[in-house]
Structure 1
Amino acid sequence: MTLIDQPHTSVSGALTSEAVSGFRHRFEHDSNAVRMQNAVTRTGLDDVALRRERFVAIPSSVSNRLDDWKVTNQMKSGRCWLFAALNLLRVGTKKRLGMKDFEFSQNHAMYWDKLERANFWLGDIVSTATDESASRLVTFLLSEPLGDGGQWDMATSIFAKHGVVPQQAMPETESSSNTGKMNSLLRKHLRRSALHLRALVAAGEITDTVEAARLDALEGVHRILGVHLGTPPETFEWQWTDDDKNFHRDGELTPQEFSARYVTLDLDDYVCLVDDPRSAHAKGEALTVANLGNVRGGSEVRYVNAPIEVMKQLAAASIVQGEPVWFGCDVGQQVLRKEGRWAADLFDYDGVYGLDLGMTKEDRVLAGDSAMTHAMLLTGVDLDGDTPRRWRVENSWGDSNGDQGFYTMDDSWFAEYVFEVVVKKSALPESLRPALTSSPRVLPAWDPMGALA
């Protein structure tokens, strides 16, 4: 019996006028529903649903705070994962330079990510060229050839291969801060190229012909990126004045040389822990996602599936020891953006609608209601003994919201909506160490753990 032949549960299809009349009657005779209608049609939903007593119970002070710097601003782009990674790197670099205000070039990192990711994607297109065009993998690949989002291991692959530069060596452009139009044209070029490459393979063209077409497509990406983002420097002159007014000159440097001299972290020492809440995936297991990455020959995207309480403990310990923590989360849920407060129960949406909207973290992932959407830095934690109560968050949305761009996360929000933290491998408990070297479980390309911040 084929899937098509298998019996299905019969469902009555039509929406009848009788059903709608019943809905309307019950709504109009529900005083709370009418009251909420009156409120929400004149006032924003979050203003109506906000639990005020919960909001005022989340002070912004924390017992351990690292940040004494200004936040960055990714503007109208999805580069949060790169901003967060570079913000982590700059903590040590600022100390080495003696400069409180310093930024790496986020444009430089994005340029190389997009060129490398286009190369990665075109390779996947060629390797799946004999698959049916309607296959799930080919459909998935064509659905999003190139976006702004990424993962921790993708950032480290870019830094390891292409180095980093100060912002003045490759400053922001209109398109680096507003990537929509550039990305649209890149996707169009890549999709057109994909059809051409698949046609060449279907026609039986030799490998050299296919490879030449792939490189031609990649050169088109290079051209588009050059127009929008500028050309990354092969070398640049580096000199600066520190905060004590002392002048320094280091001459002409390549991005790799600048990275070697001024980045203080060994990125090979770090691992990304993930809270995959699905019961089918055991804690302590290594995970990866098929077709996820950006640099051919770079680091694989590897997660260690860890209990959320362990992730909290390791993140708090890192902050106490003086180092912020890169983390990924589902930022759109239970967040009061302007005031900069986050808590798992900050808004009473159930009370507004008279419905039970509650789901567990596992249910939200299984139902497609939650996944990692944003990356930031944890720069503070409020501890009661060894127990975290709330966290201070450095965002990359500018300084107009929260505490000049810093936010306060109640610990309840961490448990429900944080998916990833990056910590030193040496900090892992013994129960998680085997996952550093074991063969990871390979999740399909469309798995929610492959969501990009």
Structure 2
Amino acid sequence: MYQQNNKFRNGVFYMSRPLTSERINEMKKEFNSNRGNQVAQTAATTNGLFKAAENIRSIDDNNFNFSIDVDTHQVTNQRHSGRCWMFSCLNVIRFQIEKQYNIENFELSQNYLFFYDKLEKANYFYQNILDTSGEELSSRDVQFLLNSPQQDGGDWNLIISLVEKYGVVPKYEMDESSCSMDSTELNTLLNRKLRADAIVLRRMMNSNKTNDEIKSFIDEQLVEVYRILSIALGTPPETINFTFRNKDKKYTSYQNLTPVEMYQKYVDIDLNDYAIIINVPTESMPFDQTFEVELSGNMVDGKPNRYLNVEMDELKKLTIKQLKSGEPVWFACDVLKHFDRQKGIMSDSLYKFKELFDLDFNMTKGERFNYRESLPTHAMVIAGVNIVDDKPTKWKVENSWGDTIGDKGFCVMDDKWMTDYLFEVVVRKEFLTDTQRANLDKDATVLPFWNPMNPITPMI
């Protein structure tokens, strides 16, 4: 029915021609008539598309020297999980801890917050199932929830909610587990349970069970979720010791702290002092306006993801201001585009796909975003920038994929790539203009959950 209704537009019947053997033979003849196609085919079938199209000059131009360089500590490794947003935020926090206490290569426990993120997302899922219980099972809302009851992805404001509620702990107090380093099995089993619980919840709502009965059921299921997470990830500590030896070899130990006490009393950072600034050049998201995305949280009554959309030049200015102050910048981008993972180079000129295929993939940044060709897929930290004649030429990036890529885990992003594929940064509100701060405080336009800015979109 959908296809039939959409074949007719303005009284005209639209339909693509079937692929006949004659048409395919014509394609083959045209391909074989071009000698350049044979050369490209040999290169691609032997080396793969990316290696065949790789631009050596672009690699040579993107070295690892920067005029402003604020971060050189040892990189982290999220392994086979989608926790990049969490790793990157904790990298910003640990930078402040290292600076505050004159220590190096300190690391916070990602597994600790991962545990509570999963627990909160389960409770958030239950609430959303209740809220949509009156909708048909086939509704877009319900299917969105059931497609991924919980996952690893997130954004800056989600980490604020977690840290303010649960605090932070040193990595040695809750180290990685097999299931945090590879979350595939945990996500599979946890989502299986949540979907089964959704069946019961929808039946209870539609049979007019009391609020107390429904709450009791959810409480029972959360106990089971906690048990699953404890078995898979370990049980989070209630008290911890914050112990370190600084660069001057002085030993310090703060004993019997709660994780919240460590964050509030011993970490000189307030995550609420930061704002998410985005660059999404589409008509549906005008510049200088603030946006939120529905169904994009990780906890009931948690902070919504709030984005201020600005021109790219303004985003870069804010990023540079924070770097010049000596502080790195959290950001999210489309790491799947023009990125040599081994060499750690992100450059729009890295691959000559136009020359390889004799095609132009012409789309604006806004068109790529609207048509889901490009959206935020990975979060990292900008740790430096190279400025020539008052203009940025390339940016230093701290990744969370271990120290075997790029320059000991650091990558380089050229300025053109940043313009095309970076979507959001997090900067201190003090660096915003008065107008930007005023715009940030205005009522936000709420975008539907299928908007590509939804951090529920799996990150890598």
- Please tell me whether the aligned partners of residues 44 and 52 of structure 2 are also in contact (alpha carbons under 8 angstroms): yes
Gaps of 5+ in 1: none
**Partners of 2:193 and 2:40 in 1: CA distance:** 48
The alignment's TM-score, normalised by the length of structure 1, stands at: 0.97
- Please tell me whether the aligned partners of residues 96 and 262 of structure 1 are also in contact (alpha carbons under 8 angstroms): no
**Match for residue 230 of structure 1?**
234
- Between stretches 266-275 and 430-439, larger displacement belongs to 430-439
User: Is 2:88 the counterpart of 1:84?
Assistant: yes
**Partners of 1:12 and 1:162 in 2: CA distance:** 56
**Match for residue 46 of structure 1?**
50
Partner SS state of residue 72, structure 1: coil
- Please tell me whether the aligned partners of residues 7 and 15 of structure 2 are also in contact (alpha carbons under 8 angstroms): no
Q: CA RMSD in A?
A: 1.5
Q: 1:161 to 1:237 in 2, by over 3 A?
A: same
**Match for residue 253 of structure 1?**
257
**Match for residue 137 of structure 1?**
141
**Match for residue 345 of structure 2?**
341
Q: What letter corresponds to residue 46 of structure 1 in structure 2?
A: F
**What's the CA shift string for 1:250-284, capped at 9, x where partnerless?**
11000001112332111111000111221221101
- Please tell me whether the aligned partners of residues 145 and 187 of structure 1 are also in contact (alpha carbons under 8 angstroms): yes
Aligned match of 1:32 in 31, 36, 52? 36
- Please tell me whether the aligned partners of residues 289 and 440 of structure 2 are also in contact (alpha carbons under 8 angstroms): no
- Between stretches 44-53 and 156-165, larger displacement belongs to 44-53
User: Is 2:221 the counterpart of 1:217?
Assistant: yes
User: Is 2:330 the counterpart of 1:326?
Assistant: yes
Q: 1:6 to 1:366 in 2, by over 3 A?
A: closer
1:349-364 mapped onto 2 (5 Å cutoff) = 349-364=353-368
**Partners of 1:109 and 1:223 in 2: CA distance:** 16
Q: What letter corresponds to residue 170 of structure 2 in structure 1?
A: P
**Partners of 1:313 and 1:414 in 2: CA distance:** 13
User: Is 2:130 the counterpart of 1:126?
Assistant: yes
Q: 1:6 to 1:350 in 2, by over 3 A?
A: closer
Q: 1:338 to 1:14 in 2, by over 3 A?
A: same
- Please tell me whether the aligned partners of residues 271 and 423 of structure 1 are also in contact (alpha carbons under 8 angstroms): yes
Partner SS state of residue 175, structure 1: helix
The alignment's TM-score, normalised by the length of structure 2, stands at: 0.95
**Partners of 2:6 and 2:284 in 1: CA distance:** 26
Aligned pairs, how many? 452
**Partners of 2:205 and 2:17 in 1: CA distance:** 44
Q: What letter corresponds to residue 178 of structure 2 in structure 1?
A: E
1:279-298 mapped onto 2 (5 Å cutoff) = 279-298=283-302
Q: What letter corresponds to residue 378 of structure 1 in structure 2?
A: I
- Please tell me whether the aligned partners of residues 288 and 436 of structure 2 are also in contact (alpha carbons under 8 angstroms): yes
Q: What letter corresponds to residue 35 of structure 2 in structure 1?
A: S
**Partners of 1:238 and 1:56 in 2: CA distance:** 44
Gaps of 5+ in 2: none
**Partners of 2:253 and 2:327 in 1: CA distance:** 28
**Partners of 2:16 and 2:256 in 1: CA distance:** 73
- Between stretches 300-309 and 425-434, larger displacement belongs to 425-434
Q: What letter corresponds to residue 435 of structure 1 in structure 2?
A: N
User: Is 2:416 the counterpart of 1:412?
Assistant: yes
Q: What letter corresponds to residue 444 of structure 2 in structure 1?
A: P
Q: Give the fraction of aligned pairs with identical amino acids, expressed as a percent.
A: 36
1:298 positional shift: 2.3
Q: 1:422 to 1:42 in 2, by over 3 A?
A: same
**Partners of 2:300 and 2:76 in 1: CA distance:** 29
